[in-house]
Amino acid sequence: MPQTSPDAPVPASVRRRAVIAAATAAAAAPVVAGLSASPAAASPSPAGAAARAATGRARRPRALPGGGDLGPNVLVFDPSTPDIQARVDAVFRQQESAQFGTGRYALLFKPGAYHGLNVQLGFYTSVAGLGLSPDDTTLNGDVTVDAGWFNGNATQNFWRSAENLALVPANGTNRWAVAQAAPFRRMHVRGGLDLAPTGYGWASGGYIADSRIEGQVGPYSQQQWYTRDSAIGSWLNGVWNMVFSGVEGAPAQSFPDPPYTTLDTTPVSREKPFLYLSGNEYRVFLPAKRTNARGVTWGNGTPRGTSLPLSAFYVARPGVSAATLNRALAQGLHLLLTPGIYHLDQPIRVDRAGTVVLGLGYATLIPDNGVTALRTADVDGIRLAGFLVDAGPVNSATLVEIGPRGAWRDHSADPTTVQDVFVRIGGAGPGKATTSLVVNSRHTIVDHTWIWRADHGDGVGWETNRADYGVVVNGHDVLATGLFVEHFNKYDVQWFGQRGRTIFFQNEKAYDAPNQAAVQNGALKGYAAYRVGDGVTAHEGWGLGSYCYYNVDPTIVQHHGFAAPNRPGVKFHDLLVVSLGGNGQYEHVINDIGAPTSGTSTVPSTVVSYP
């Protein structure tokens, strides 16, 4: 395996030759005292339905209760809770290397001050404060992600998160060495933040939003990173693609050397919903939309937005049926998905304007028998956040659909937001889906997603976890902030809507293409990672990168990473393509523009402005 250094890291994708064995299933953690409300009700029994049918008087289905028990895998602490360190350590031991295990956990800290803690996060583990502001909950200690489980390689540190906490790091700097699907949101670090593992081994992340880091952010070997609507003391270095929008203290625009893409503001943003405590009552805060956003939302008193009581939510537990979830939605409830795995025999249908579907602890939806996991109507203000969709073994035509085909309504005042919603095809077992995410509704904001056709794990192979398309955008005026899409058999992203915008894109082409013929695209060699449709007259992107690592057949040639119509309204800024170790080559960056990648140097070929 090639060596690396902070100046010239080995490509992120070399990591994925390793196959990580699935860990043992999660053991249920004890319920922590302090949660209230009644447990979620079960679906009406078949026997009861039959009895009602026999009487000839079908009754209206019994209303489901709002609120409920957050379940055994949500651990809630307050400053007086004994043995907090021992309890979080027990979760970490179980989850540290459980890359494809079934354990799911949320660690929640009530407002107050905590001392001497080091909360280490493994797979499918979220840590969050329960205050309205991050400064309501202060950990004098660390929230740590490192890579000891993988010999110092952080490039598989997926599916974990930290939110809504203030940290005073024990040694002045907190370590957050992550890869994809590991958001760092609404955090206040009273010190520095290192984004690479101990010893600065390989790293491939990542995403920060609505956070204040008072000291220096040190990416070191991090190959790419996106930071949005935050404040930082300083930024140390860049490797391939570092993108900032709305970040106070961000380095100046300088792509490609150093590779900084810096936008003064984010055109439109709305932060992720979050659970918090108001007195002894659990509520969900819904941050307000911002335009031309810059800096954090919480720095000057109460943040802008509204909140909902937990009684407005159906608090779902693993094992509940899709029919019950849909019944709750039809009755006007929102959904709070507690940690665990949910098998679906029909799509979750989100039809009501303003509905919130919020997951805790990487709640995971698995569509069975080829169904779509979730569909929304063409209505205002839906918020989808904090869950994983894992494709089933029977091919699904789509996994997530935002709006129906032909959606046309204007949602500029109150868009749908899709935040920390991640999709996986294969890895935990065979999975298939023709298209992972389809966005039809206008003005949708896709804020941090990782859409991944697995390149390692169980059920992985060119046809075994077949998935032709990652993201298809048909709706107009859609904005993507932090778009990670990797390894699809054909196009990773296809964008057909008008006036689309993407700020930061990270991609790797499918490693496992067996030969050139398998990726031949008519007269073109290979499928672009990001394709703008021929009929599009207005589109813009900033800080987009595509990498190839054809490890099955290193002679494969990729004509380009990006494809777009050549017209004035279609614009790109700061594009790059990289051949990882010379395993495959790009002939151009976008269309027929940009120098080919060369040799085994992993030096990007760049285009600063298109056209």
Catalytic residues: 508
List phi, psi (to 5°) of 33. -60, 150
DSSP assignment string, 89-126? HHHHHHHTT-TT----EEEEE-SEEEEEEEEE--TTEE
DSSP state at residue 380: S
**CA nearest 544: which of 489, 495, 601?**
495
For 480-518, the three-class secondary structure string (H helix, E strand, C coil) is EEEEEEECCCCCCEEECCCCEEEEEEEEECCCCCCCHHH
Whether the link from the prior residue into 611 is cis, omega within 30° of 0, is: yes
- Distance, C-alpha 80 to centroid of its chain: 33
Burial of 171 (0-12, 13-18, 19+ CB in 10 A): exposed
d(CA 501, CA 508): 20
d(CA 387, CA 422): 6
d(CA 40, CA 317): 7
What lies within 8 Å, CB to CB, of 372 at 6+ separation is: 347, 396, 397, 398, 399, 400, 401
List phi, psi (to 5°) of 291. -115, 145
The residue type at 89: D
